[in-house]
Amino acid sequence: MNIGQHLEAARADLGGALRDCPGAHPGLEAEILMAEALETPRSFLYAHPELEMPPARGQAYRAMVERRMRGEPIAYITGTREFWSLTFRVTPEVLVPRPETELLVETALERLAGSAPGRIADLGTGSGAIACALASERRGDEVTGTDISYDALEIARANAGDLGLHNTRFVHGSWCAPLDGSYQCIVSNPPYIAAGDPHLDHGDCRFEPRTALTPGGDGLAPFHTIARDARGHLSEGGWLLFEHGNDQGEAVRDILTAQGYERVETCQDLERRDRVTLGLRGRS
Ligand SMILES: C[S@@+](CC[C@H](N)C(=O)[O-])C[C@H]1O[C@@H](n2cnc3c(N)ncnc32)[C@H](O)[C@@H]1O
Q: Whose CA is nearest to atom 27 of ligand 1?
A: 126
C-alpha 190 – ligand 1 centre gap (Å): 5
Half-sphere exposure of residue 19: CA atoms within 13 angstroms, side-chain side? 4
Q: Are strands 80-83 and 274-280 parallel, antiparallel or unpaired?
A: unpaired
64-117 confidence digits (pLDDT tens): 999 999 999 999 999 999 999 999 999 999 999 999 999 999 999 999 999 999
Q: What percent of the chain has pLDDT over 90?
A: 96
| Element at 88 (helix H, strand E) | strand 86-89
Question: Does ipTM exceed 0.90?
Answer: yes
Q: Which domains does the chain have, with CATH numbers?
A: 3-71 (1.10.8), 95-281 (3.40.50.150)
Q: How confident is the model at residue 284 (pLDDT cuts 50, 70, 90)?
A: low
Burial label, 108 (beta-carbon count in 10 A; 0-12, 13-18, 19+): buried
Q: Which residues line ligand 1 (CB under 6 A)?
A: 95, 97, 101, 123-127, 129-130, 146-149, 152, 174-175, 189-191, 211-212
Whether the per-residue pLDDT at 216 is higher than 80: the answer is yes
Q: Is 216 annotated as a binding residue?
A: no
Q: Which residues contact 189 (CB under 8 A, 6 or more apart)?
A: 101, 104, 124, 126, 130, 242, 243
CA dihedral 73, 79, 83, 85 (to 10 degrees): -130
The Å distance, Cα 128 to ligand 1 centre, comes to: 10
